[in-house]
Amino acid sequence: MLHDYAPILILFLLVAGFAVVALLLSDLLGRKRHSLEKGKAYESGMDPVGGARLRLSIHFYLVAVLFILFDVELIFLVPWAVSAAALGSVGFWMIAVFLIVLVVGLIYEWRVGGLEWDR
């Protein structure tokens, strides 16, 4: 069993070793020019606006978590779609129940205002 995964392990070790060596050589051989401009915050070519301590509503994070939750649940449709023919009608009804639960949860979150972060 370990013999089957040996090439992947060797490749992982080679990649990790290359990354560590490249970082060390860059740090040891590279020029170090510290300046005020290099220490300044930089975001997509624009000067930052406002402070870094901007307070966001907790609803913003809740919407993000809900998005990730529903997104990850929908990933389960891919294995089902690949093996739908082999699962037959039992697999169809199982995924139908899964999607009904998912849609009911989404409708509930929508109705209680869980998808609005700007309240």
Rounded to whole angstroms, the Cα distance separating 61 from 118 reads 11
Q: What is the pLDDT along the chain (119 residues), one digit of tens a residue?
A: 778 899 999 999 999 999 999 999 999 998 888 888 777 776 676 766 777 777 777 888 888 888 888 888 888 888 888 998 898 999 999 999 999 998 898 899 889 888 777 76
Task: Write out the two tokens for 29.
Answer: 């051989």
1 is a domain residue: yes
Rounded to whole angstroms, the Cα distance separating 24 from 30 reads 10
**43 φ, ψ (degrees, to nearest 5):** -140, 105
For residue 82, give the 3-state DSSP assignment: helix
CATH code where residue 80 lies: 1.20.58.1610
Say whether both 62 and 115 belong to one domain. Answer: yes
Q: What angle do CA 42, 46, 49 make, to 5 degrees?
A: 85
Say whether both 62 and 22 belong to one domain. Answer: no
Place of tokens 């560590």: 20
pTM confidence score:
0.50
